[in-house]
Amino acid sequence: MGISLRAFTNLERKLRRGVHNDDGAVAVEFAIIALPFFALLFGIIELAIIFFLNSSLEASTFEAARDIRTGQFCGDEDDFKTAVCQGMNPGVPESDLTVCKQRTEVRIRQMGSGFGSSVDMNWTPEPVPNPLPADYEAPPPNYSATNGGETVLAAVRYRHPLTIPSELTRLSNVDDSNARDIYAVTAFRNEPFGEASSCP
């Protein structure tokens, strides 16, 4: 059985029409580029949030450290953390700063009279062994008030949970967690205000 010339012509016409038919092409093209497009878009937004948090953390850390430098700070590392969180969230009552406090860690170390000494910030302290071995050294004590002229180093770490999976944005710097650690550090010599005032 042969194919008639008319049937062949009709088949050829349909094939040509199908080749030039672009119905749905836009939807297919959008489906191809949608994932990388939205990953890039939300990655840019996430990066902008990180830059904003970094600037806010640095500003509030320097402002809180100014009270130590001038002898006006009376408290410990937890009080310093509260001051930093209040600086990052101006106008928010202290009772609403729970999330900020949970994400923030503070280390304040006295460095004596100069900047030459090394300081261990000990961000991830080891659990205290039980029973205690004979050569066990306890971690450095929590911050106590510093004297005038003393050199102090204050460091703050804020852990920001990321919205976009790190496999797409590569913004995470925390092992086994989709989060970004943001740091602010300042070292300074206290003004000569004399002995530290006792806290009430």
In a structure prediction context, what are the per-residue pLDDT tens digits for the chain, which is 200 residues long?
455 667 667 767 766 665 565 666 777 788 888 888 888 888 899 999 999 999 999 999 999 999 999 888 888 888 999 999 999 999 888 889 999 999 999 988 887 666 666 666 666 656 666 666 777 666 665 677 788 888 888 999 999 999 888 887 888 888 888 899 999 999 998 888 877 665 55
* CA angle, 187 then 191 then 196, to 5°: 95
Domain range list for the chain: 25-189
Tokens, residue 49: 């949030």
Q: How many C-beta atoms surround the C-beta of residue 155 within 10 A? A: 19
> How is 79-99 classified by DSSP, letter by letter?
HHHHHHHHHHSTT--GGG-HH
Task: Pick the closest to residue 46 from 166, 198, 192, 197 (CA basis).
Answer: 166
Distances (CA, A) of 100 to 16, 83, 96, 197: 64, 11, 9, 29
Give the chain's end-to-end CA distance (angstroms, integer): 108
